[in-house]
Structures are given as C-alpha cells and as structure tokens.
Amino acid sequence: MHSAIRLSWLARVPQLDRYAMGLSGLCAVHCFASAVLVALASTAGGMLLNPAFHEIGLTVAIILGALALGRGIFEHGYMAPAVTGSLGLGMMAGAMQLPHGNGGETLWTLIGVAILALGHDLNRRAAH
C-alpha cells in the first residue's frame, strides 16, 4: 500500500512512456547525426562525440526509464516491458565502453535505443 501511495504521483504523468520513447528517438537521431557529422566535419563531430554529452544523455535515459517502466510494473503488473527496456539501457551503457570511430559504438547504441523504445511501447500498450 505504501509503495502505491509513494508512486501515485507517477500516475499523473500518463505520457511518461511517450516522453521516454521520444528521448530514445532523439538518441537515435543524435547517434546517426554524429556519425554523419564526423564524416563531414571533424570539428562539429568532435563536439557531439564529447563523452560528457553521452554520459548525461544516458543518465537521463536511465532516470526516465526507471520512472516510466517502474511505474508500469505497479500499474499493470507486467515485468516484460521493464526487462526489455532494461536490456536496451544496458546495451546503451555497454556501447559507451566501445572505442569511438569504428562504428561499433553507434551500431550497438542504436540497437539498444530500439530495444529501449520497444520496452516503452510495450509498457504503454500494457497500460491501456
């Protein structure tokens, strides 16, 4: 009962999964744009490939994911969306450990983003 009361404020944000999916989309656009910009202009690409940019983005994704997917567990009781989203977040975090510039980081990040977005979509569908 106490956990339901503590998480009741999350129920007031019904679009949380949509926001998180939007953030996933922005991440995918960022990754693709970074790769293109690196190929076209190394100065602009260097700015977008700054590790702090990725660390902050991943932190925001983890926070939104925990809130939205965690709320889903309490709301509809299904673990599959949270597990799927967590796998995507883990792949994104793992991709940050790969060397820049060889394409592997971008590929694994995009796969992780897609899996995370799938988790949020499953969460959104389960709530309706």
pLDDT in tens, 20-42: 888 888 888 888 887 777 676 66
- Answer whether residue 119 shows pLDDT above 90: yes
Enter the tokens of residue 119.
Answer: 């988790």
> What φ, ψ does residue 49 adopt, rounded to 5°?
-95, 10
Cβ atoms of 72 and 21 closer than 8 Å = no
Mean pLDDT of 72-98: 93
pTM of structure: 0.68
Enter the tokens of residue 110.
Answer: 């995009």
State how far the Cα of 4 lies from the Cα of 9, in Å rounded to an integer: 9
Mean pLDDT of 85-100: 91
| Per-residue pLDDT at 8 | 65
pLDDT above 70 covers a percentage of the chain that reads: 80
| Average model confidence (pLDDT) across the chain | 82
Other residues' Cβ atoms within 10 Å of the Cβ of residue 18: 14
pLDDT above 90 covers a percentage of the chain that reads: 33
- pLDDT tens, residue by residue, 44-61: 556 666 778 888 889 999
- Answer whether residue 64 shows pLDDT above 70: yes
